[in-house]
Structure 1
């Protein structure tokens, strides 16, 4: 098989000179080398290896690449004929669809969406979509195309979605859905009924991220969740959710400051807890987490007697913490924490 290196060893002038003084057999061999088409070594790789290279070119699933541009699988269809055929025939390259680039004209974005849905065949899907607030009807059109494939939804990210659009996906099942990230806007809540939007038949759903409005107006199979993040919520808004999400293993709560007057909540399976937001003293003491191993909490959440608050919480929960991270650290001596909790890995983040 000839290569560019083979050709480089024979210049045109050398070829003419050697042609005149070489034996006929050598002339024929040299002619064969010069006339054979060159082939880049990468094109000699087995198709399975090329597909593996393609998969590493993209963000790790379920992260979504852009629809177009240098980081998109569409680029792989523009290199050469062989790569185009391989890319178009590899359904897993097209299973993560991001519809949040409003620099792409809507008609082209809709065309690309349908094309990716077709190329992904029957594979589970990761969907990432922002509502176009200027023209929500366009988002509705995209969402209506996606709803036809709801049985394949595996990871769903819905950003700044109005409740009317959210209701488009309410009636049917999502049997493969494993993770849901929903940021629900409030600009329609006074115009529509505020009855809960129910996700039905989502038996595999385990990981959920919600903002405050989504937490209030969404009904999920809370008891089957193992990871939950609530953003921008008041402590009182956490109560009904956490009371039903009794099997959580990981939980992150971004809290808005208010006086805490909530009942105790038991989370028997919880292993890691992260609290963020503004100062909400007294909230930690309302949680009972006997299996807790890792705690991340701002110093301000602990009140003026940080060591006593943590000691009381651990005693009440009867947990055996392994790691403690104090964030927004400001005042209390680190040595006091090290001395009070010698068996716990303590760290500080300012």
Structure 2
């Protein structure tokens, strides 16, 4: 009698199959999605791992269920105004989280109504108003029940406004959210913060979020960038994607005593760029990265003027642009060597010897 043999991959040791499952999950930068949305319905996302792995065969299902690491990352899209969820879907979320054991969680939460694309950055929609959705609240309750294991959290949802003002997350280390959401967290171990906001920072920092080391501001103002010296005194790196003049009183003199790396875009309003650094005391700054659309003498003059009104010790200036290095006139950037320890343009480091006068 013929007995079918197992597929070769199923002859591998269980530990090796677990590593393969982990490689599949970790090869995708986004957290795996639990739900799939249609025009009028919501269902479990069995077309993608890790749920897909449970549908291949009994062996794979048993191995997947016992591999806690593949369940420690999850993307939850809140259905918003869609009618009440089938009871299976909240139960699936509870089961998913239970299968992660006691592992730290990487969590991303987004509302479908934000028109959010996982391939692009989230957009701030100031006209959007939060509302209570029974489906959303049930899913958020489940996620909150495991908040003690949150380690990396990405929240882009107005439904979060219904949460408590004090969300205790003792293991949280990385947070990406809107400004008003950030203020709700008690996160004493939070070190990395990415904020989407068009508003200035509040006058008082969150008491348990004062040890931020790495900060990224997506939509901000000149005043907010300067105010980081008050609310985040331990910063080591800061990245600003875009900014405007904003409103409110300007802090004339500010100090970031530990900041080592700073990234700023150079907008068409060059005065704003200079205003950010004017009176900024940066004793530990080692690298200033400037994102420019086009490298011209005016941009170089603006950077030199900004460094002249800041207090720093000849940092490395790194110029980033979309233009290929072969199409950039590097001579334009050479004056920066008079105020910088080193200058790089699109990854190419300028050689000081090239601009020194030769022997007579």
Common fold, TM-score beyond 0.5?
yes
Deviations 1:26-62 (A, max 9, x none): xxxxxxxx63431222111111111000000113598
Structure 2 spans left out of the alignment, 5+ residues:
35-44, 114-130, 348-360
Equivalent position to 1:59, from 14, 22, 26? 26
Where 2:288 maps in the other structure, the secondary structure is: strand
Q: Distance in 2 between matches of 1:76 and 1:161?
A: 32
- Whether contact under 8 Å (2:78, 2:112) holds in the other structure is no
Which stretch shows the higher mean deviation, 148-157 or 54-63? 54-63
Structure 1 Cα separation of the partners of residues 179 and 305 of structure 2? 37
Q: Cα RMSD over matched residues?
A: 3.6
2:66 equivalent to 1:125:
no
**Distance between the aligned counterparts of 1:213 and 1:84, measured in 2?**
46
In structure 2, what is the equivalent of residue 81 of structure 1?
58
Query: Does 1:273 pair with 2:234?
Result: no
> Kindly tell me: are residues 227 and 88 of structure 1, through their superposed partners in 2, closer, same or farther at Cα, counting changes over 3 Å?
same
Instruction: Give the alignment partner of residue 280 of structure 2, picking from 271, 278, 287.
Output: 287
Is the 1:124–1:152 Cα contact (8 Å) retained in structure 2?
yes
1:347 to 336, 345, 348: 345
Summarize the Cα distance change of 1:285–1:326 in structure 2 as closer, same or farther, 3 Å threshold: farther
Comparing 268-277 with 300-309, greater Cα deviation is found at 300-309
In structure 2, the residue matched to 1:206 is 191
When residues 177 and 46 of structure 1 are mapped into structure 2, their CA distance, relative to the original with a 3 A threshold, is: same
Q: What does residue range 1-350 of structure 1 map to in structure 2 within 5 Å?
A: 35-59=2-26, 63-67=30-34, 68-100=45-77, 102=79, 106-107=85-86, 108-131=88-111, 133=113, 136-162=133-159, 164-165=161-162, 167-168=163-164, 170-183=165-178, 197-200=183-186, 202-212=187-197, 216=201, 219=206, 221-258=208-245, 261-276=250-265, 278=267, 279=269, 280-282=272-274, 283-299=276-292, 306-311=299-304, 313-314=306-307, 316-327=310-321, 334-341=330-337, 344-348=342-346
Q: Distance in 1 between matches of 2:22 and 2:58?
A: 18
- The structure number with the bigger radius of gyration is 1
- By percentage of residues, which structure has more helix? 1
Return the offset for 1:285. 2.7
CA distance in structure 1 between the aligned counterparts of 2:329 and 2:302, rounded to whole angstroms? 15
Unaligned runs of 5+ in 1: 1-33, 187-195
1:307 to 1:221, Cα distance in 2 relative to 1, 3 A:
farther
Q: How far apart are 1:131 and its partner, in Å?
A: 3.1
Q: Deviations over 1:192-211 (max 9, x none)?
A: xxxx94422x2211001112
TM (normalized to structure 1)? Answer: 0.73
Q: 1:214 to 1:284 in 2, by over 3 A?
A: closer
Query: Contact 1:61–1:96 at 8 Å: present in 2 too?
Result: no
